[in-house]
Structure 1
Amino acid sequence: MSRPRKPEDPIRWPVPCARCSQHHQTVARWPDGGICGYCYQQAKRTKGTCACGHEGVLPGLIDEQPACRQCSGVRLNIDCEACGAEDELHSGGRCWSCVLATVVDDLLTDPSRGIVAPELIPLATALKSMKRANSGITWIQQKHVTAFLRNLAVAPKITHDSFDELPDSRTREYVRGLLTEHGVLPRRDELRIRYENWSAQALDRVNNPENRDIIRRYIRWHHLRRMNQMDEVTRGTFLRAKQQVTVAIDLLNWLTGHGTNLAGLTQTHLDLWQAEGPTTRRIAEHFLKWAIKAKAAPAGLAIIPHRRGTSAKLDKTGQDEALNRVLHAGGQVEARDQAAAILILVFGQQAENIARLTWDDVAVTEELVTIQLGTIQIALPDPLDAPWRELAANPGHNLTASHPNTNWVFRGTSPGRHIHPGHLTTRLSKLFSTRAARLGTLHELTKLAPVAIIAETLGYSPTTIERHAVDSSAAYAQYMAAVRRSPTGR
Structure 2
Amino acid sequence: MTQFLRSLAHGESPIANETFENYGEYSKIRHLHQLFTKLGIVEYKDQNLLIFTRWLDRKMDKCDLNDEHTKVARQYVRWYHLRRLRELSDRTNLTEGHVRTSKQDTTVALNFLGWLEEKSISLSQCRQAHVDEWFATGNTTRSRVRSFAKWAVRNQYLPNIELPGGATFRAPGIDQGKRLALLADLLENEEIPLFCRAAAILFLLYGQPITRLVRLTINDITTNVDVTEILLGDHPVLIPNPFDEIILRYVRSRPNINTAGNADSPYLFVGFRPGQPLNANYLMRLLRDHGVELRVMKAAALRDLVQEMPPAVAARVLGFKTASLEPHAAQAGMTWASYPALRRATPKNS
TM-score, with length taken from structure 2: 0.89
Q: Report Cα offsets for 1:378-426 as digits up to 9, x if no partner.
A: 2222211122121122111133333121111101111111100111111
Distance 1:201 1:477 in 2: 56
2:143 to 261, 282, 299: 282
| Distance in 2 separating the partners of 1:468 and 1:207 | 43
C-alpha distance in 2, partners of 1:477/1:300?
Answer: 42
Deviation at 1:241, TM superposition (A): 0.8
Q: CA deviation at 1:157?
A: 1.4
Deviation of the 1:447 alpha carbon? 2.4
The DSSP-based 3-state class of the residue aligned with 2:230 is: strand
Residue 320 (structure 1) aligns with: 180
**Structure 1 CA distance, aligned partners of 2:138 and 2:74?**
24
Equivalent of 1:401, from 260, 271, 285?
260
| Equivalence for 1:244 | 105
| Offset from partner CA, 1:128-173 (integer Å, 9 cap, x none) | xxxxxxxxxxxxxxxx4x5543332123410101111112243310
What are the residue-to-residue correspondences of 1:45-444 with 2, within 5 Å?
Answer: 144=1, 146-155=2-11, 156-203=13-60, 204-230=62-88, 231-232=91-92, 233-309=94-170, 312-329=172-189, 331-364=190-223, 367-431=226-290, 432-444=292-304
Distance 1:354 1:307, change over 3 A: same
Q: Secondary structure of the equivalent of 1:398?
A: coil
Q: 309, 320, 332: which is aligned to 1:460?
A: 320
Secondary structure at the residue paired with 1:341?
helix
Could you tell me how far apart the structure 2 residues matched to 1:362 and 1:151 are?
A: 44
- Taking only aligned residues, the RMSD between alpha carbons, in angstroms, comes to 2.3
Secondary structure (helix, strand or coil) at the match of 1:229 reads helix
For 2:332 and 2:116, the matched residues in 1 are separated by 41
**1:444-472, Cα deviation, whole Å (9 max, x unpaired):** 22222111110111111112122332343
Higher helix share: 2
**1:476/1:292 CA distance change after superposition, 3 Å:** farther
- CA offset at residue 434 of structure 1? 1.9
Which one of 310, 313, 316 corresponds to residue 450 of structure 1?
Answer: 310
- More relative contact order, 1 or 2 (CA 8 Å, 6+ apart): 2
DSSP 3-state at the match of 1:385: helix
Q: Say whether the 8 Å CA contact 2:127–2:161 is kept in structure 1.
A: no
Amino acid aligned to 1:453: V
Segment drifting more, 182-191 vs 351-360: 182-191
Aligned residues: 337
Compute the displacement of 1:364 (Å): 4.0
Q: Is the 8 A contact 1:285 1:305 kept in 2?
A: no
1:475: Cα distance to partner?
A: 4.2
Amino acid at match of 2:8: L
Deviations 1:181-239 (A, max 9, x none): 11111221111122122222222324221111111111111111212222131122111
- Identical-residue share of aligned pairs (%): 27
Q: What is the TM-score of this pair, normalised by structure 1?
A: 0.65
- Secondary structure at the aligned position of 1:363 is classed as strand
User: Larger radius of gyration, structure 1 or 2?
Assistant: 1
Q: Secondary structure at the match of 1:402?
A: coil
Q: Read off the aligned partner of 2:215 and give its amino acid letter.
A: R
Unaligned ranges ≥5, structure 1:
1-143
